[in-house]
Amino acid sequence: MLESVQIKSNPSLFVFLPLFYTVWSDAILTPSEVATIEGLIESQQWLTPAEKSFLLSQVNPASPPSPDDLMSWRDEIRKAADQTDGKSLVDIGFQLVRNHGSISSEVLKERAALENIESTLGFISHEAAYNFRSGKRESVTQQLSTQRTFDVDALTKILEGKNTAIIRKVKTILGDPEFRYIDSGDLSIYRAKVLQWAHMLADQGFGSIAYPKEFGGQNDMASYFAIMETLSYHDLSLVIKFGVQFGLWGMSVYFLGTEKHHKKYLKDIGSLELPGCFAMTEIHHGSNVKGVETTATYNHTSKTITVHTPHANARKEFIGNAALHGQMATVFAKLIVEGKDYGVCAVVVPMRDKKGKTLSGITIEDCGRKMGLNGVDNGKIEFKNVVVPSENLLDRCTMITGEGKFSSPISSDNKRFFTMLGTLVGGRIGIPRAGLSASKSGLTIAIKYGDQRRQFGPEGAPEVPILNYRTHQRRLMPPLANAYALHFALQYLTNRFINRKEEEMQEIEALAAGLKSFATWNATATLQECRECCGGKGYLSENRIEILKNDTDIFTTFEGDNTVLMQLVAKSRLTEFKQEFAGMNLFGILNYVADQAKTSITELNPIIVRKTDEDHLLDPEFHMDAFEYRERDILTSAAKRLKRHIDQGMDSFDAFNVSQHHLVQVGFAYIERIVLEKFIEQVENTSDKHCQSILKKLCALFALSQIDKNKGWYLEQGYMSGAKTKAIRKLLNQLCWDVRQEAVPLVDAFAIPDSCLAAPIVVSN
């Protein structure tokens, strides 16, 4: 085209060159594009028939320009683009005409028609023109980058709280070459290494740290949980091995046993001289512990207890430490005294001798390879009339008198049972904290990778970090906010448990069950997003997201299936709801109803329902009101629903069954409110203004993300208008944009050692 006779005799034809190049740049000229350009050419009165014929030949799909032609067109257009401040392809076309001659008045008259053709072809004029200019192109997306507006170390100290010293000590130990990761493919080698690591931690005094000082410990439960959480940055098989040995096995002896058991076992458990198991779950009885079928029958003549598995489906299953290393187990079984079933008890039963030989009457089967946690030797245990001394009964709650009679300081069967299950509360604190650490590891890998990995960008400009893309931000920033929110909520739970009073245990157990569910479901979802956000690199085992995903997958169903636990939370909330009314006289109930109505009138005010200004949407009071309204309404409606079913003659079991989905939502609403409440408290109590500022953003992001997730419910209730939920979605995008800029320092504040992170995509060897 550039060398044609027509264009040399009439330089005004150059005005079409930018348009022609742009439509040919994707190598395909569609029929609609051809028709549009042909119409434009035919309408130009200043063109001769020969010139029209020539121009039409340039847009013939059967005869496209050669690659060399396109390159020469591009070079000519770029030179003209750098010579003009024009913002459209037509502006560049006019400059091309000037470079080769002068612009005729006839061509100038057609400017509007030429610009209209740009629009008709779907070009964004300034974008198309800008693409031809030399030099770096700066877009808003390109300019977004990591900032540090707060002191990372200061935020780390806030996260660590009073546990800084022990956390730093554990991280130092994990940095030792002895804790370098190994290939987990060989089960025997991996299990042996995890056991070796556990011994090294026991040698540091970490295993016994929660036990009383007289039994080798430091009576420091807070440090025990901090150790568990920090170890979770390393190998989760080690964490579970540690938790089974020193937590479930050791704590069952400590909490359910009495001084004679403490003196006999605790020191050796804490030093790992006595590896053991927590044998509760049966093949046919997982969550329903009360239904276990293993029996523990007392024989008064011999002062012994016979532990027996009545059939194959009553075998203890998935018991950690059982397949290889456990020498003893706390076995949960039905206590039979004088032929009468007194409910679930706990008995210490030897399984192996010191040389590892399985004892008579004990059959152990290895569960084998699992989806994850293959450093833990899970096994199935069967007892065939195994006789142990009666003193092996852990008798804090369940005793047998000298006369051979059952006795207990707790008269209620249900209360005695739930007191025994209190041994699980520690696990339901340790597991979500471990899951949160895994989430933090995944987020650190994905966010740092996203900040470094560049892909796509404006035409003619450098590629952009993928963390600058809004979709990437929407996938990773809310989980980052969740991680911070859950951190403070789990700190609160831990402190409640450590400083517990007996009358608070039911509430604490429900809180632990709910937070365990919420945090582990969150870990599963977070790690999946992290994997996808790292693309193929996230799929590589070397970058560790695979092992984090596989190892935490079981967290949603062990220490209690999450869905079942959320129903437990709902039942606890309904009990409190019922007790609240039971303690009220008529005047109190009327006041309660009046307060509810007053709250509804205030919060359902049409002005509030439709209010969309940013100050309101970012107000923690608005967030808290919305969460509390949802919690209160769902709880009240669940109570009414159950009452209606029962009043109509439905069995209470059936009533709960048909209401299960509703009950799970009761649990979610309660836990979401607790998490937000504790996050807001942390923001208010943070004295460092820079740290407070970023925590405030994260808190708002958490709150609005949850509201957005539940927007259907809020719309159904008339609590928010469609305009308001749209405004929330828009503000969420902006918060993700803002938090992205500080995302790297925010994950740096987790202070995960490089030796633990060990992902080549973010850690150089």
316-319 β-sheet, strand order: 316-319, 379-383, 362-366
Q: Locate all alpha helices (DSSP H) within 3-88, ordered by sequence.
A: 5-9, 17-24, 31-43, 49-57, 67-81
For the chain, the 3-state helix, strand and coil shares in percent, each to the nearest 5, are 65, 10, 30
% pLDDT > 90, the chain: 62
Q: How far apart are CA 230 and CA 223, in angstroms?
A: 10
Q: How far apart are CA 404 and CA 221, in angstroms?
A: 36
Of the two residues 332 and 413, the one the predictor is more confident about is: 332
The count of other CB atoms within 10 Å of the CB of residue 574 is 17
pLDDT in tens, 692-731: 999 999 999 999 999 999 999 999 999 999 999 999 999 9
pLDDT above 60 for 351: yes
- Tokens at 126, concatenated: 């300034």
pLDDT in tens, 479-506: 999 999 999 999 999 999 999 888 888 8
Averaged pLDDT score across all residues of the chain: 89
The predicted pLDDT at position 135 comes to 56
The predicted pLDDT at position 640 comes to 82
Quickly state the pLDDT bin for 651 (edges 50, 70, 90): confident
Quickly state the pLDDT bin for 137 (edges 50, 70, 90): low
> Under CATH, to which class is 426-757 assigned?
mainly alpha
Domain parsing of the chain, residue ranges: 5-134, 175-421, 426-757
The count of other CB atoms within 10 Å of the CB of residue 391 is 16
Burial readout 676-707 (b: 16 or more C-beta within 10 A, e: otherwise)? bbbbbebbeebeeeebbebbbbbbbbbbbbbb
CB within 8 Å of 370: residues ≥ 6 apart: 378, 554
pLDDT in tens, 423-458: 678 889 999 999 999 999 999 999 999 998 878 766
Q: Hey, what amino acid is at 239?
A: V
At residue 589, φ and ψ (nearest 5 deg) are: -65, -40
pLDDT in tens, 591-647: 554 555 455 555 666 667 778 899 999 999 999 999 999 999 898 888 888 888 888
> What is the mean predicted confidence (pLDDT) over 552-572?
91
Count how many residues are written for the chain.
765
CB 93 within 8 A of CB 14: yes
The full 3-state SS of 467-517, as one line of letters, equals HHCHHHHHHHHHHHHHHHHHHHHHHHHHHHHHCCCHHHHHHHHHHHHHHHH
Whole-structure pTM value: 0.84
| Matching residue, tokens 């109509």 | 648
Q: How far apart are CA 203 and CA 184, in angstroms?
A: 24
pLDDT above 60 for 588: no
Q: Hey, what amino acid is at 346?
A: A
Given the DSSP bridges, would you call strands 454-455 and 464-465 parallel, antiparallel or unpaired? Answer: antiparallel
pLDDT in tens, 265-304: 999 999 999 999 999 999 988 777 888 999 999 999 999 9
pLDDT above 60 for 765: no
The predicted pLDDT at position 584 comes to 46
pLDDT above 60 for 125: no
Spell out the long-range contacts of 118-126 with Cβ–Cβ below 8 A and sequence spacing 24 or more: 118/19, 118/88, 118/89, 118/90, 120/36, 121/19, 121/22, 121/23, 121/33, 121/36, 121/37, 123/22, 123/89, 125/87, 125/88, 125/89, 125/90, 126/87, 126/88
pLDDT in tens, 462-478: 778 889 989 999 999 99
Out of 26-30, 319-323, 543-547, 744-748, pick the least confident: 26-30
The predicted pLDDT at position 458 comes to 65
Burial readout 66-86 (b: 16 or more C-beta within 10 A, e: otherwise)? eeebbebbeebbbebbeebeb
The predicted pLDDT at position 166 comes to 97
pLDDT above 70 for 23: yes
Provide the 3-class DSSP secondary structure of residue 691.
helix
**DSSP per-residue codes, 97-124:** HHHHS---HHHHHTHHHHHHHHHHTT--
| Matching residue, tokens 């989430």 | 439
CB 350 within 8 A of CB 393: no
> What is the mean predicted confidence (pLDDT) over 390-394?
97
Quickly state the pLDDT bin for 60 (edges 50, 70, 90): confident
> Nearest to residue 436, comparing CAs of 490, 371, 497?
490
Q: How far apart are CA 619 and CA 707, in angstroms?
A: 13
> Under CATH, to which class is 175-421 assigned?
mainly beta
CA 313 to the chain's CA centroid: 34
| Matching residue, tokens 């700190």 | 491
Q: How far apart are CA 3 and CA 297, in angstroms?
A: 104
Out of 101-115, 124-138, 267-281, 577-591, pick the least confident: 577-591
Q: Please name every residue paired with 297 in a beta bridge, in sequence order, or none if there are none.
A: 306, 336
Provide the 3-class DSSP secondary structure of residue 749.
coil
CB within 8 Å of 173: residues ≥ 6 apart: 179, 200, 201, 204
Q: How far apart are CA 435 and CA 523, in angstroms?
A: 6
Given the DSSP bridges, would you call strands 340-350 and 295-299 parallel, antiparallel or unpaired? Answer: unpaired
